[in-house]
Amino acid sequence: DAGVTQSPTHLIKTRGQQVTLRCSPKSGHDTVSWYQQALGQGPQFIFQYYEEEERQRGNFPDRFSGHQFPNYSSELNVNALLLGDSALYLCASSPGPQAGAFFGQGTRLTVV
Amino acid sequence: KNEVEQSPQNLTAQEGEFITINCSYSVGISALHWLQQHPGGGIVSLFMLSSGKKKHGRLIATINIQEKHSSLHITASHPRDSAVYICAVRRYRGYNNNDMRFGAGTRLTVKP
């Protein structure tokens, strides 16, 4: 079992561009959550997907959107990138609401 | 005020010392996680607690639900324990909740 995998591992984008990050959950997990971690800070909850729907959302603008596919994998899209969007984006999956979350290695996004 | 507060922010210890990291939270929770994050960003889940105490090797985690407080202890610390330790809580918002909130982390450096 490969665990939670994220791609790409590193990414550099220009301000104003759009980016798509991908996450494959651990086998058997149906829930995916996305987090943004700025340098030196704890992760911040972006949103959670379950049954292909956004179930919960943190305090992030509409520029942040996502999708979950029938195979439970997920994408995070960020439009009109700002310099402040530079961060480590973490994906976590779990097999249900009360189970522990498994984290991916993250995608480090740099906006220049 | 953050929902999850950790202390200390930074901690330097000599190899072999007993280490304690504290976490206080202000919301109702269904579970508390202790996570370890190494340079490069990957996060490993160490413990998930909803009551009492758990032990894994040299690591011990305790939680006091009434006081909304948890501690992570490392006995006989080793330089390989150097990492950022993050406390995260799953807020209780009913069934099917995976919304986790994170502390800012404690950066631990263990010197040989």
pLDDT per position as a tens digit, B56-69: 999 999 999 999 99
Mean pLDDT of A89-106: 78
Helix and strand numbers (H, E) in chain A are: 0, 11
Give contacts of B88 with chain A, Cβ < 8 Å: 42-43
Q: Please name which of A34, A95, A96, A32 lies closest in space to residue A69, comparing C-alpha atoms.
A: A32
Identify the helix (H) or strand (E) that includes residue B85.
strand B83-91
A43 vs A112 pLDDT, higher one:
A112
Per-residue pLDDT, B40 = 66
Quick one: closest CA in B to A96, which residue?
B96
A100 contacts B102? CB cut-off 8 A: no
Q: Mind telling me how many Å the CA of B16 is from chain A's nearest CA?
A: 27
For residue A67, the model assigns a pLDDT of: 96
Residue B35 touches partner A, C-beta closer than 8 Å: yes
| Cα separation values, A65 from A8, A20, A80, A110, Å | 18, 10, 12, 18
Q: Chain A, 25-54: which have a CB under 8 Å from a chain B CB?
A: 31, 33, 35, 37, 40-45, 48, 50
Give SS3 for B86.
strand
Q: How confident is the model at residue A41 (pLDDT cuts 50, 70, 90)?
A: confident
In this predicted structure, what is the pLDDT of residue B43?
80
Share of residues in chain B with pLDDT > 70 (%): 90
Mean pLDDT estimate for chain B: 89
